[in-house]
Chains A and B, each alone.
Chain A
Amino acid sequence: MFRDKIPPTSAFQSLVASLDFMDSSLLQVSDLHSVFHVAGGRLRAVDGVSFEIPSRGTLGIVGESGCGKTVTALSILRLLQPPAEIESGSVLFRARNNAGSKKKGPGESEDRPALDLLKISERRMRRIRGAEISMVFQEPASALNPVLNAGDQIAEAVRAHEKVSRKESWDRAVAMMEAVSIPDAARRAKEYPHQLSGGLRQRVMIAMALVCRPQLLIADEPTTALDVTVQAQILELLQSMCGQYDLSMLFISHDLGVIAAVADEVAVMYCGKIVEHAPVEELFANPRHPYTQGLLRSLPTVTLGEMPTRKLEAIPGSVPNLMNLSVGCKFEPRCAVRLEECKTFDPPLYPLGKNHSTRCVLCRPT
């Protein structure tokens, strides 16, 4: 959808947003702006990002280091710490009527009101975090508490949201560890994070994220720190969990191959903005933004039985510093097909039909 036209008054914005918040979506981010207050001004880490996450679907966000993926995720959960801050925008979320209840029946979603997560109280937000929306981080070692054993970490997540006994929460933890295919779960539950391998730690993180049956899982580069053979296991696990638990997922990665494997829809980010958004097949078959095209061409890829090529097509230059961006298209300094006007004109997302949109003047409707 085409949201750059929405005037920037927030009351009007959330009204408009809730009007077109489609029944099929679980979460809708509109015109999100998040900044870092740094020496020399404001660094616009997330600069007007809008997207929807379909219920029981996966939206992939792909982009290079520093383009604002993690800040987007943390903004949704209101976990940004100073000097970072959400400046404006809305995050509409279709919360369950009462947190912790059973799975929703078919057709129930239409009745649930959409909350603007950026407006609710911190107390209410805490009931949503971990119970309705959970997050899995890139580096499981730093996201887990080093002095709690695996079982206690997960049990604590249960008790944070539900009134259950220690015994019951421990049993739930072990059951969840079994569900994420941790071999010998009852024994592993008593082990501390440093005793677990990278892959097992990530499984514990996933168990902890899913134990309260959230509706949405935000996975921020969940496999980047892992070896490829372990990455394959974790991706398989996440996909089977999505099916089993009716999960929606926001999956963040810098790896186009991973995104192709897990996402239903893809948003490509560059310098704090979404530059292209499309269903996954469409994006890979028919990329329209010069940055997306360049990324795809520059990837070293080869699989079993294929002949590798010799020379790669690289994108010249590098990702610019967000503190001194030009006024025009942020990709202009590196773009091979730039026009004169791209220096001064920053294009909006132009719709291309079939849910496909791209931020490039070459795709401007005539």
Chain B
Amino acid sequence: MPQATPLLQVENLIKHFPADSTRWFAKSKEFVHAVDGISFSIPAGEVFGLVGESGCGKSTAARLILRLIEPTSGKIQFDGMDWLALGEKELRRQRRVMQIIFQDPYSSLNPRMRIGAALAEPFEVHKVCSSRAEVRSRVEELLQMVGLDPQAFGRYPHEFSGGQRQRIAIARAIALKPKFVVADEPVSSLDVSVQAQIINLLADLREEFHLTYLFISHSLPVVSHLCDRIAVMYLGKIVEMGSRDEIFRNSGHPYTRVLLSAVLPPDPKPKSSRIVLRGEIPSAVKIPSGCRFHPRCPIADAHCAEAEPPVETLSATHWSACFKVNEAAQLTAK
């Protein structure tokens, strides 16, 4: 594990949205605890995975890091800078080193813009090319890099398939050779046969440009192929963090183990090896007391409803926020 100074360091980041702002009669003191105090750091060159079910706060975390929204509280250090202290102008200048790839390749591209123009935009905005010919050759180079026909220049987004559009979005994100890329569910809207292409492309680009990724997904199998370390999120908090091996082979949190056992392998034989959880993820407005997973946890006891579990260190790189890590580590399907 590279222990250099981290490229990104997030400390106790919190984002509370006012709850139900559309209902004027709603109690005004209620908040959506979208991100409820998360901390992690990502060394340069690492792929860090953030995993959890929908609504657990993954995209909110991404938007906070990109400063598309401002946090309620917390600290973000990026590339040695106090990232949250940057003013508008300085932030715009720094944006080129931090890029995002969104889930939906349809909405992240302007439908009326030819892709050549869409890809030329970053070069023009940041004035990095000296001539139009140079812009053009950079765009062709980009298209080639993400596996598209360099002659596809003059075509519009609708003329491309979902996977191809995601390649264009990736090309745009890497155009200015960023240091850090946030990929928020980059393959979730793609066909199965195309997901693997995009995962492989992201892996190749990482090698080639020494990129650092924050890779967000609701699917553990998807992150497993790319990530070095993984954090599992539940209701606004990280409940477990560890290296990829530790998370998959040796998880010490019941929720992670449930997520893993809910993965259905393409194999009809082991039909009964699932831990089926009761209930659904509760509303982020009314966070359960104590351990926020306790209403659904298969091994919860009375104590779990009263106090918040501390972080249990399992190795230098692995921790779990659970009172019963030993029991959790034994948890398998009945």
Given contacts A261-B264, A312-B200, is CB(A305)–CB(B271) below 8 Å? no
Please name the residue on chain A nearest to B260 by beta carbon: A304
Given contacts A300-B222, A312-B196, is CB(A198)–CB(B280) below 8 Å? yes
- Can you give 29 A-B contacts (C-beta < 8 A)? A199-B280, A227-B54, A227-B218, A227-B281, A228-B53, A229-B276, A233-B278, A256-B192, A257-B264, A258-B264, A280-B268, A281-B269, A284-B268, A298-B192, A299-B196, A300-B199, A300-B224, A301-B221, A304-B251, A304-B260, A304-B263, A305-B248, A305-B249, A306-B249, A308-B224, A309-B225, A310-B203, A311-B200, A315-B193
The residues of A with any CB-CB pair to B shorter than 8 Å are 64-65, 197-200, 227-233, 236, 254-261, 263, 280-281, 284, 294-296, 298-316, 318-319, 334
B163 contacts the other chain (CB 8 A): yes
Among A236, A280, A302, point to the contact of B263 (Cβ < 8 A). A302
CB pair A228 B259 closer than 8 Å: yes
Most buried by B among A281, A303, A305, A310: A303
CB pair B225 A260 closer than 8 Å: no
CB-defined contacts of A294 to chain B, threshold 8 Å: 193
- Besides A233-B278, A302-B263, 20 other A-B contacts (C-beta < 8 A): A228-B219, A228-B263, A232-B274, A254-B192, A281-B269, A284-B266, A299-B196, A303-B261, A303-B263, A304-B251, A304-B332, A305-B248, A307-B245, A311-B203, A313-B196, A314-B197, A315-B194, A316-B197, A318-B161, A318-B193
Most buried by B among A199, A227, A254, A305: A227
CB pair B196 A254 closer than 8 Å: no
Mark out the residues of chain B between 233 and 281 whose CB falls within 8 Å of any chain A CB in the assembled complex.
Answer: 244-245, 248-249, 251, 257-269, 271, 274, 276-278, 280-281
Please name the residue on chain A nearest to B160 by beta carbon: A318
| Cβ of B328 to closest chain A Cβ, rounded Å | 12
Q: State the CA gap A17–B277 with chains docked (Å).
A: 45
| Cβ of A276 to closest chain B Cβ, rounded Å | 14
CB pair A300 B203 closer than 8 Å: no
B327 contacts the other chain (CB 8 A): no
CB pair B191 A65 closer than 8 Å: yes
CB pair A318 B224 closer than 8 Å: no
| Cβ of A193 to closest chain B Cβ, rounded Å | 15
Q: Digit string of B97-116 for contact with A (CB within 8 Å is 1, else 0)? A: 00000000000000000000
CB pair A229 B263 closer than 8 Å: no
CB pair A64 B191 closer than 8 Å: yes
Mark out the residues of chain B between 178 and 233 whose CB falls within 8 Å of any chain A CB in the assembled complex.
Answer: 191-197, 199-200, 203, 218-222, 224-225
Most buried by A among B193, B261, B267: B193
Q: How many A-B residue pairs have CB under 8 A?
A: 152
CB pair A295 B193 closer than 8 Å: yes
| Cβ of A252 to closest chain B Cβ, rounded Å | 14
| Cβ of B195 to closest chain A Cβ, rounded Å | 7
CB-defined contacts of B218 to chain A, threshold 8 Å: 227-228
Top 5 A-B pairs, shortest CB-CB distance: A257-B264, A308-B224, A314-B196, A312-B196, A298-B196
Q: State the CA gap A120–B164 with chains docked (Å).
A: 44
CB-defined contacts of A65 to chain B, threshold 8 Å: 162, 191
CB-defined contacts of B244 to chain A, threshold 8 Å: 308
CB-defined contacts of A296 to chain B, threshold 8 Å: 266
Q: State the CA gap A258–B192 with chains docked (Å).
A: 13
Please name the residue on chain B nearest to A294 by beta carbon: B193
Among B163, B225, B261, B296, point to the contact of A300 (Cβ < 8 A). B225
CB-defined contacts of A319 to chain B, threshold 8 Å: 161, 191, 193
Please name the residue on chain B nearest to A228 by beta carbon: B262
Given contacts A227-B54, A300-B221, A318-B161, is CB(A260)–CB(B196) below 8 Å? no
Given contacts A295-B193, A318-B191, is CB(A256)–CB(B266) below 8 Å? yes
Q: State the CA gap A264–B166 with chains docked (Å).
A: 35
CB pair A314 B200 closer than 8 Å: yes
CB-defined contacts of A200 to chain B, threshold 8 Å: 280
